[in-house]
């Protein structure tokens, strides 16, 4: 090979290796400094789940339970706007651990049918459990396995969450989130939400296959006590509630398991002023609901002679 061509080839190889090295280093730094810098981002919570956490009471579900603060020995893995299929993957990871602690799982009346923001799963795309989840929702992209390229389109999303938490715009503690940037209650705006809710089909419309798999998970892990919780919904959701008999039958099926406690608080009476929308409580009402649930869990554990993992009111 002529010297000129050899030098050209060496320069090209050196530049290529340098580019790959920069990509790997930048990806490594961004992942650790921003994406997984702590346990409170959505990706950070998934990373936390992969640890043993032997004495932890985990909480799983959607934004409906993500605001629940169940004490310093609890950790909230709620993922906003995501399907029970994603919760199932997290549950499988949790239930594979040699633990006997209880866990809280949201009792969903209707599956979202969505993955939520797929970016939170990018750091774990090489894990076949999460890769299959992404593929199930047609959200898999080959670049998710390529360091330096996998975060394209998501850098601003991760940085925004990182800065918001550092600025205490959205305080998060052990997975549980408090969003203080909610508009003050306005009756006219809320009445409009209620009108829209009344036009929708509300009721028990489950994904039968996902519910069947949830039941199988419960049956396969008798050493774990499952608290299945339905959080309060506005009265408009229940005004024309469909398939209530099916919901009662499903809850009875679940409650028949010796390791299940069903807590359906979806009809607890809260005034309009307690809601952000017809599905989510404001922070003051959520704080009161968290206290009520902590006390209920502690009562059940005491009755079953199990160690209480929940911090009583006022000890946070």
pLDDT higher than 60, residue 169: no
Q: How many C-beta atoms lie closer than 10 Å to residue 53's C-beta?
A: 16
pLDDT at position 175, please? 62
Residue bearing the bigger pLDDT, 175 or 144: 144
pLDDT at position 170, please? 55
Residue 305's pLDDT band, with cuts at 50, 70 and 90, is: confident
Answer yes or no: are the C-beta atoms of 40 and 78 closer than 8 Å: no
pLDDT at position 313, please? 46
Q: What is the CA radius of gyration of the chain?
A: 23
Q: How many C-beta atoms lie closer than 10 Å to residue 195's C-beta?
A: 10
pLDDT digits (tens, 9 = 90+) for 234-269: 999 999 999 999 999 999 999 999 999 999 999 999
Percentage of the chain exceeding pLDDT 90: 56
Per-residue pLDDT, averaged over 289-303, amounts to 94
pLDDT higher than 70, residue 293: yes
pLDDT at position 128, please? 94
Answer yes or no: are the C-beta atoms of 120 and 46 closer than 8 Å: yes
Question: Nearest-CA neighbor of 103 among 78, 67, 130, 129?
Answer: 78
Instruction: Measure the CA dihedral 56/62/63/65, to 10°.
Output: -50
In the chain, what are the domains?
39-116+171-303 (3.40.50.1110)
How many Cα atoms are found within 13 Å in the side-chain-facing hemisphere of 137? 19
Residue bearing the bigger pLDDT, 87 or 31: 87
Question: Nearest-CA neighbor of 51 among 164, 148, 233, 174?
Answer: 174
Tokens of 95: 């239930």
Per-residue pLDDT, averaged over 163-188, amounts to 70
Tokens of 2: 């002529």
Per-residue pLDDT, averaged over 198-204, amounts to 94
Tokens of 301: 């554990």
Beta bridge pairs of residue 57 = 74
Residue bearing the bigger pLDDT, 30 or 309: 30
pLDDT higher than 80, residue 118: yes
Question: Nearest-CA neighbor of 86 among 109, 70, 105, 71?
Answer: 105
CA distance 289 to 313: 11
Give this prediction's pTM.
0.88
Question: Nearest-CA neighbor of 47 among 148, 166, 175, 221?
Answer: 175
pLDDT higher than 90, residue 32: no
pLDDT at position 101, please? 92
Compute the mean pLDDT over every residue in the chain, rounded to the nearest whole number. 86
CA distance 54 to 70: 16
CA distance 177 to 171: 6
pLDDT at position 240, please? 92
Question: Nearest-CA neighbor of 35 among 108, 147, 122, 94?
Answer: 122
User: Which string of b and e fits 212-226 if b means at least 16 CB within 10 Å?
Assistant: ebbeebbeebeebbb
pLDDT at position 168, please? 59
pLDDT at position 176, please? 64
pLDDT digits (tens, 9 = 90+) for 177-193: 666 567 888 999 999 99
């Amino acid at each position: 090979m002529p010297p000129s061509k050899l030098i050209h080839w060496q320069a090209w190889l050196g530049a290529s290796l340098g580019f790959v090295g920069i990509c790997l280093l930048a990806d490594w730094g961004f992942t650790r400094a921003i994406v997984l810098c702590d346990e409170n981002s959505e990706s950070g919570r998934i990373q936390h789940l992969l640890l043993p956490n032997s004495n932890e009471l985990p909480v799983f579900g959607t934004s409906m339970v993500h605001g629940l603060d169940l004490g310093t020995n609890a950790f909230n893995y709620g993922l906003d706007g995501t399907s029970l299929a994603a919760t199932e993957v997290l549950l499988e990871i949790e239930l594979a651990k040699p633990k006997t602690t209880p866990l809280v799982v949201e009792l969903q009346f209707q599956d979202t049918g969505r993955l939520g923001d797929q970016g939170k799963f990018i750091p774990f795309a090489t894990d076949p459990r999460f890769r299959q989840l992404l593929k199930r929702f047609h959200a898999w992209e080959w670049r998710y396995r390529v360091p330096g390229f996998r975060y394209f389109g998501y850098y601003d999303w991760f940085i925004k969450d990182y800065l918001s938490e550092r600025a205490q715009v959205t305080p998060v503690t052990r997975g549980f989130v408090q969003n203080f940037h909610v508009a003050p209650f306005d009756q006219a705006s809320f009445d409009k939400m209620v009108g829209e809710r009344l036009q929708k089909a509300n009721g028990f419309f489950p994904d039968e296959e996902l519910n069947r798999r949830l039941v199988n998970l419960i049956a396969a892990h008798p050493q774990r006590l499952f608290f299945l919780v339905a959080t309060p919904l506005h009265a408009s959701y229940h005004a024309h509630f469909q398939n209530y008999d099916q919901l009662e039958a499903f809850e009875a099926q679940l409650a028949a398991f010796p390791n299940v406690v069903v807590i359906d608080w979806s009809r607890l009476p809260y005034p309009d002023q307690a809601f952000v929308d017809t599905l989510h409580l404001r922070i003051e009402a959520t704080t009161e609901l968290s206290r009520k649930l902590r006390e209920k869990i502690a009562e059940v554990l005491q009755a079953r002679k199990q160690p209480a993992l929940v911090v009583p009111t006022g000890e946070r």
